[in-house]
Amino acid sequence: MTEKVFYQDSYQKTHSSEVIKLRDDGVILASTIFYPLGGGQPGDIGILTINGREYPVIDTCYDEDRKSIIHFMDEHSDMSAIRQGDRVDMAIDWERRHRLMRMHTSMHLVCSVITAQATGGSVGERESRLDFDLQGQVIDKEQLTSDLNELVAREIPVNIGSISDAELDQNPELVRTMSVQPPRGQGSVRTISIEDVDYQPCGGTHVRNTAEIGELLITKLKNKGKQNKRISIALVNP
């Protein structure tokens, strides 16, 4: 099992831990700041330093148990010197991660302006997308862009919290993306609240304040099937 340091502090850029399991394609660590692919957000990349040697991490994912986190190494990495128990100094690609945090937080703002159920989404470094089952709701690209930028300009704090499984079961409407159900069974689920704007279970990484997102632009509105509308959103200053 890997302790998720990024859960409590998404701003930690470096961290030290130890190897708890070696794989052919990477390592599992006791704790990590590397975010594993999930909830539409890509896995982190970065560098692990083990016994004075640098190993690039090309992707991060949960293991099958959903508790351990695999740091995938480049196929050309010679991992033969790594042993279980070795100390690891790690650094994530912070510029990339911070753009993903800004984009991810902007998706919560989109969910607040569009009340329909989200059916899917994906966070990108430059552009992200969210699909909605609009049920007739009409969206205007310029209006949506200006609504989002108003929320950015309000400098609203973004807070991490938690909700019990039981409470979440009683309030299923809190889960905004049907295809991304939060992991129940641990007793509680992590939540993200942006004051009165948005509140939902989410395990991703976010910025501390909406101002940090910067100016946003709706780049595309596209029909995906009868009801579904795909909304593409980009950072004006990546």
Which residues contribute to the site for Zn ion (CB under 5 A)? 202, 204
Q: How far is the CB of 202 from Zn ion (least distance, A)?
A: 3
The minimum distance between CB 47 and Zn ion, in angstroms, equals 26
Closer residue to Zn ion, CB minimum distance, 36 or 204: 204
31 or 106: whose CB is closer to Zn ion?
Answer: 106
Closest residue to Zn ion, judged by C-beta, is 202
The nearer residue to Zn ion, 21 or 184, going by C-beta atoms, is 184
Q: Quickly tell me which residue has 């946003």 as its tokens.
A: 216
> At its nearest, how many Å lie between Zn ion and the CB of residue 64?
24
Comparing CB distances to Zn ion, the nearer of 2 and 177 is 177
Please identify, using beta-carbon distances, which residue of 77 and 128 lies nearer to Zn ion.
Answer: 128
- In whole angstroms, how close is the CB of 121 to Zn ion at the nearest point? 10
State in angstroms the smallest separation of the CB of 206 from Zn ion: 6
